[in-house]
Amino acid sequence: MSGKTTGGIRAILRLEGLVVLTAAMLAYSKYGNDWTTFAIFFLTPDLSFLGYLAGPKIGAASYNTAHSYIGAVTCLTAGILFTVPLLLTAGLIWCAHIGFDRMLGYGLKYQTGFHDTHLSNP
């Protein structure tokens, strides 16, 4: 076993990303702001790439913090529970971004290198 995610498992993980992207966009159409706001902030989590300027360890931590569902779903949940539309909007856009990345095959990063992800060779 190589540790590389391939075949049917990789396809399922990408399909899960598509499902999250679709669900987040459908929810956004019902509960979010206008689509201009969505478009402006959709790539915001990618600013975490700047962490790689400080090296692969900090870069991976920065990227993973911005591309884990932990923060996104926490933001989304807080927006729902405390009726904070800004948090709800941010959480939906954030979840959509992560789903989009997963659909394209981009995974959480290992500290060994930018291209070493949970969807590729660690």
Q: What are the extents of the domains in the chain? A: 7-103
Of 16, 5, 29, nearest to 93 (Cα)? 29
Phi, psi of 114 (to 5 degrees): -55, -35
Of 70, 52, 41, 53, nearest to 109 (Cα)? 52
The position carrying tokens 């900090």 is: 58
The position carrying tokens 């949970």 is: 118
pTM over 0.75: yes
Kindly report, residue by residue over 19-62, the tens digit of the pLDDT: 999 999 999 999 988 999 999 999 999 999 999 999 999 999 99
Q: Coil, helix or strand for 109? A: strand
Q: Coil, helix or strand for 28? A: helix
